[in-house]
Amino acid sequence: MTPDTLHGLPAYPASVVEQPGTTYSLVRDPASGQKWLAVQGETNGFEGGQAAGEGVTLFPLTPFNAAALRARLPWLNPVPLGLRTSAGFGDRLGLATPGHVQAVAGTGIAPIFAQQSVRENARTGRTPQEVIDDAMWGAFQAGWREDWGADADHLKRPEDIAPFVQAGYSFFTVDPSDYVDNAANADPVAVLREKVAALPWAELETSLADLEARLMSRTIDLGTQALTFDEETLLRAAAKYGAAVAHVKRMAAHLSKQMGSKPFDFEVSIDETDTPSTIHEHYYIAAEMRRLGIVWVSLAPRFVGRFEKGVDYIGDLAALDANLAGHAAVMHVFGGYKLSLHSGSDKFSVYPLAVRHAHGSVHLKTAGTSYLEALRVWAEIDPAAFREVLDFSRARYETDRATYHVSAQLERVPPTADLSDGALPGLLDQFDARQVLHVTFGSVLDQYGDALRALLRAHEDRYDAVLKRHFDRHLDLFSTSVTAD
């Protein structure tokens, strides 16, 4: 077997792995676009093979064969990434990992190539196993042999966890937002007292009196500022987040039982809430989780301003800078975790601030931006099909936006009849069009997913290049800031 061709089937040169007695590679049929695992040598443990001559057997890219290859090539297993500066690359189509590899290679940033939430899986019709296998095959194709992670994102219920554990995920993001009391942000003190009295104190393994003794009896030195809790501030933090902390404890215990002795990264996400997390509230959450013995690798507060899907930060950057400084100061006091930036796609003005204040202890989470870049390729290669998708997305927007915090206005997205073919790719750089196309991804994939995937498979080099260019803009800001710091 050569690195270039295998009986007329082009091999991906970066995928070739030569081990004593056995060589592995990924090959592709140019006519059909179908990919195969090619094994020359020991083939026990794989299934469905067909001989290709010269001792080579071709195997389909099934979950069984993915597991068998992971057993042979350990670097294809996702692993915990710990406290390294890291980035999550959501991939709703299962085709983006080679482009992600090209972007992250050489940056020093630890990648999470498989990242999908329960909600995203429901909308794309994919399973946790499919997501992790697609990422693995993409990493194999692109020759990635360093550590990488797999993130089970926005887990809300204990019963959500098992399919991700069984599929081999290494990173678990718990979202307790259903237990966050947003009204506590403005409740009068008398109401706060009632709410705090009703907290699950037995689960929290403490009492209000003990909580007051811990947090109201001292001034907390954050290095850059001092933090003190008066009664109202503490009551507001506990009323808003106390039940959420109890839920995180339940989820952590359930996950630990499921994982057994296998190590994993654990993230807590409180970003999908109505009101920002104050510095006092961040301290309260971290102090309570630490007291309860919860070990977490990253925390996603709800920062000031708006982190909307697919666009840069909306708000006062000076206010965000101060907010990030405060949250980073709390993180540094406790140590052992990173700040996590959710809805982090395309937040180019935010990255240098976050990395500077956090000293590189940052996790970036992106998702829909890779899908948007796929649409850019579609607009470039098949304008007629993209016009249909854009008009369809405009019709679906008001329905599909219901579960997202977005502010795009339909009247600012021109109908396709008003645009030349050459102007269509530029819509992917326009605020309102990006958000309309972003939040309608589930509906679009239901209707046009097969056509989009077929186009990207036929033009995979172009998609890889577009993704690399796009993520270079993201990761250059991270790696430059880390180096400078």
DSSP code at position 306: B
Spatial contact of 49 and 57, defined as CB atoms under 8 Å apart: yes
Spatial distance between the Cα atoms of 355 and 479, rounded to a whole number of angstroms = 9
Which residues are known to be catalytic?
Answer: 153, 267
Spatial distance between the Cα atoms of 404 and 389, rounded to a whole number of angstroms = 20
Spatial contact of 17 and 23, defined as CB atoms under 8 Å apart: yes
Spatial contact of 103 and 472, defined as CB atoms under 8 Å apart: yes
Of the candidates 110, 178, 115, which has an alpha carbon nearest to the alpha carbon of residue 152? 115
The distance from CA 335 to its chain's CA centroid, rounded to whole angstroms, is 22
Between strands 5-6 and 298-300, the pairing is unpaired
Spatial distance between the Cα atoms of 189 and 194, rounded to a whole number of angstroms = 9
Residue pointed to by tokens 């395309």? 346
The distance from CA 59 to its chain's CA centroid, rounded to whole angstroms, is 30
Between strands 17-19 and 22-28, the pairing is antiparallel
For the CA atoms of 121, 294, 300, 278, the dihedral, rounded to the nearest 10 degrees, stands at 140
Spatial distance between the Cα atoms of 315 and 298, rounded to a whole number of angstroms = 24
Please name the residues in contact with 18: beta carbons below 8 A apart, sequence gap of 6 or more.
none
- Neighbour tally for 230: CB within 10 Å: 9
Residues in the chain: 485
Spatial distance between the Cα atoms of 43 and 47, rounded to a whole number of angstroms = 9
DSSP code at position 176: -
Please name the residues in contact with 327: beta carbons below 8 A apart, sequence gap of 6 or more.
277, 279, 282, 301, 303, 339, 357
- Neighbour tally for 305: CB within 10 Å: 16
Helix ranges (H only) for 292-430 are 317-334, 351-358, 368-381, 383-400
Spatial distance between the Cα atoms of 431 and 413, rounded to a whole number of angstroms = 9
- In the chain, count H helices and then E strands: 17, 17
